[in-house]
Amino acid sequence: MDSQKKWWWLAYVITPFFVGIKVLLVAFCLNFLKLFDLPKVDQVKFRDFLFLALLAESVFVIGGFYKFIYFYWINTEYTLEDVQTYYPLSLLNFKENISTEKWLAYPLQLVNLFELFYWVLLAWGVREFLEEKINYLKSFGLVAVTYGIGLLFWTATVCFLILNAQY
């Protein structure tokens, strides 16, 4: 506890760094749209994908506010484990009905309503960058092929690391 009091400020320094890395990785994944034969995709710059990923991150800020409100006003008797494992509107909250394996916690946490809104916002942005030359369903499919594969790779890596640390 004493070391946490000493290093409390470090979380405020590291958090923007990790968010920046996440935004860069999402923009990198979305940049693979240039490999597809799409109208106007050659005019979209990497900074546009960076802006879109940063804009979409606002969805997770709203999720953080929801979590704060939940623990401040709704569930006022909680443990540290509750705060660490709770993610708003995710499948992890239904862990009584689903397996509670440690490696499965992260994928269950990723399946949530805020992640869906994130994907919808990315799909909307891709459609706007292509000047509405494609429909929403195709745009959502393109996000699934680019960002979705990157997210799947990241999730598999995290699950692998959790399994290795567990045994």
Concatenated DSSP letters for 103-131?
A: HHHHHHHHSBHHHHHHHHHHHHHHHHHTT
Confidence of residue 11 (pLDDT cuts 50, 70, 90): confident
User: Per-residue pLDDT tens for 15-51?
Assistant: 899 999 999 999 999 999 999 988 888 999 999 999 9
Average pLDDT over residues 123-143: 93
Q: Which domain holds residue 110?
A: 2-166
Look at residues 102, 105, 126, 109 and name the one whose alpha carbon lies nearest to residue 63: 109
Number of domains present in the structure of the chain: 1
- Return the HEC string of 9-63: HHHHHHHHHHHHHHHHHHHHHHHHHHHCCCCCHHHCCHHHHHHHHHHHCHHHHHH
User: Per-residue pLDDT tens for 85-131?
Assistant: 788 888 887 766 666 677 888 898 899 999 999 999 999 999 999 98
> What is the percentage of the chain residues whose pLDDT exceeds 90?
59
Q: Cβ contacts of residue 22 below 8 Å, gap of 6+?
A: 53, 57
- What is the predicted pLDDT for the residue at 97? 60
Interatomic CA distance for residues 37 and 41, integer angstroms: 8
Average pLDDT over the chain, rounded to an integer: 89
Helix (H) or strand (E) holding 138: helix 136-166
Phi then psi for residue 110, to 5 deg, are -70, -25
